[in-house]
Amino acid sequence: MKSLPPTPMLDALQRPIHDLRISVTDRCNFRCVYCMPKHIFGPGYHFLKRSQLLSYEEIERVARMFVQQGVRKLRLTGGEPLVRKDIEILIESLAAIEGIQDLSLTTNGSLLTPQKARNLYDAGLRRVTVSLDSLDGDTFRSMNGVNFAPESVLKAIDTVAATGLAPVKINMVVKRGVNDNAVLSAARHFRGTGHILRFIEYMDVGNSNRWQESEVISAENIRGIIEQVYPIEPVSPDYRGEVAQKWRYTDGAGEIGIIASVSQPFCGTCTRARLSADGSLFTCLFASKGHDLRALLRQGISDAELSREIRTIWSARADRYSELRAMQSVDVSKIEMSYIGG
């Protein structure tokens, strides 16, 4: 992957574009309580039809236009991205885009067999983030909603690391009264492994998870739980707009991250756009409405016109939902995480 001189476009608040998160499907084989609770996403739920999904060629085209506008990081999400057939084809085409510096994929790990991991690596993927909300079997099974064991996810992490997709990032959403008692055990397990555990405050993405602020364990509390046993110190961010606050163990046993969208909003440095599986462009994780790029693509829009449309959308962006939430001045219907990607 070669680098191009950075030419990022700026939004209305002078925030540059840097990351594009691409949801390749709205489907998932888990029913996590904070994302796709089974009381909403049950047997009768209507997911997108295949014809409604962007093709891999359409995704690659949109991604290429974003890279020309300054994007340097692409992340594939879902739903669960590995339920999309032959995703290696998409990865190979994205990896070939000149200017991409980081191409990663976020997964629940359930489909990461040794052969799948090898196929992903051979296609050009170089980094994987795996979701794992608890090492306790009963807790994790109740959170993922499909009785999937944490040992299987741990095996998947070892598998992708052995393939060369390392270090692995592990995402743990922390919800009060559900898995907050698992913070320290997770930190203990991944210390010294070379992997990076990231704790995520329980967020009000979408509406189906029935979010309550009282269920949030703040970043400060998470840090305090760890510091009671393992001293840590802050690490400077690698770039403006990096999501996680980074900390390292003072004894050199590795690094953790804490994503504090609720208690410490970082809207002012947000550099991310999101492309849904059906081609809607969202300029905020908590958005209620997107911009339909699929219709433009299928109407035969030229690359130049598509690039101008993307720049117009981003230049008008003034989203700062988390800051407004903190001021208790918003109450809106938001798009679901399974549709927009994390």
Q: Report whether pLDDT(88) > 70.
A: yes
Does the pTM surpass 0.85? The reply is: yes
Q: Report whether pLDDT(2) > 90.
A: no
Tokens of 5: 């001189």
Superfamily name with CATH number, domain 19-340: Aldolase class I (3.20.20.70)
Q: Are 252 and 235 in contact (CB under 8 A)?
A: no
Per-residue model confidence as pLDDT tens digits over 307-317: 999 999 999 99
Question: Domain coordinates of the chain in residue numbers?
Answer: 19-340
Which ranges of the chain does DSSP label H, i.e. alpha helix? 56-68, 87-95, 114-123, 137-144, 150-163, 183-190, 219-227, 293-298, 303-315, 321-326, 337-340
Relative orientation angle of helices 114-123 and 150-163, to the nearest 10 degrees: 40
The mean pLDDT value for 142-163 works out to 96
Per-residue model confidence as pLDDT tens digits over 214-265: 899 999 999 999 999 999 999 998 877 788 999 999 999 999 999 998 888 8
Place of tokens 């320290």: 184
Tokens of 239: 């770039």
Q: Report whether pLDDT(274) > 70.
A: yes
Peptide bond into 124 cis (omega under 30): no
Alpha-carbon distance of 249 to 273, in angstroms, equals: 32
